[in-house]
Amino acid sequence: MSPFDRILLIIYSLVISVGCLLSLAIVSGWWQQPLHLLWQRPNVYEMQIYLAIFIAILLLLGLRLLWVALSRRQTGKAVVHDYILGQVRISVLTIENLVKKVVHQIHGVKEVKPRVVQTSRGLALHIRAIVAPDISIPEVSREIQQRVQEYLSQTTGITVNDIKVIVDNISNTRPRVE
C-alpha cells in the first residue's frame, strides 16, 4: 500500500470512528441535544449541503480504499533487466526460491528462509538459517554469502549488494545413521 493510501486509510478510519461514537452517543442518550434540533435551525439547507459533501467525500475515500484492497496482488515486485529486445522480469519469489536451492546444498544448513529487500543501494538479501550444531557458524555464513552471490549472478545476472546471514537457531535433530 502506498503512503498516500495509508494516509487515506488513517483519515477514513478516524472519521468513521468519530462518526460512530457520535451516533452511539446520540442513540444512547448521552448527548443531550438531539439530532432533530439541528435540523430545525434557520440554515438547514446549508447544513444539508455540507453534510452531503462530507458524505460524498467519505464515499469516495471508501471506494478508493476498496479499489486498492481488491486490485493489489501479492506476487511481489519484479527485478527488471532492460535489453535491446525488451525487458526481462524476475519475481522476488523466484529469487527467494533460487536462494533456498543453493543454500540447501551447503553442508550443515538445515533450514533457510530468505527475504529480498530493496535498499537505496540496490537489492539485498536477509537469509535466516538453522544450522547443524557441529559446524563453524562464521565459515558457513561466509560460504552462504559467497555461493548465493555467485549463483544469483550466474543464473539471473543480478548483483546483490548486501547479503545478511542470520543464524536463528542450532538444529537439535541428529543425523540419521544409514
**CATH: 3.30.379.10, 3.30.70.1350, 3.40.50.300, 3.40.50.720. Which one for 78-170?**
3.30.70.1350
pTM: 0.56
Whole-angstrom Cα Rg for the chain: 28
Q: Are 80 and 88 in contact (CB under 8 A)?
A: yes
Q: Are 128 and 117 in contact (CB under 8 A)?
A: no
What pLDDT does residue 16 have? 82
What pLDDT does residue 101 have? 95
Q: Which residues face 115 on adjacent strands?
A: 126
State in Å, rounded, how far the first CA of the chain is from the last one.
51
- Show the 3-state SS of 34-59: CHHHHCCCCCHHHHHHHHHHHHHHHH
- Taking only the tens of pLDDT, the chain with its 178 residues reads 667 777 877 888 888 877 767 766 666 666 666 555 555 655 656 666 776 777 778 777 777 777 777 765 545 676 777 788 888 888 888 999 999 999 999 998 999 999 998 877 888 999 999 999 888 999 999 999 999 999 999 998 888 889 999 998 888 765 555 5
What are the residue boundaries of the structural domains of the chain, listed by start?
A: 3-71, 78-170
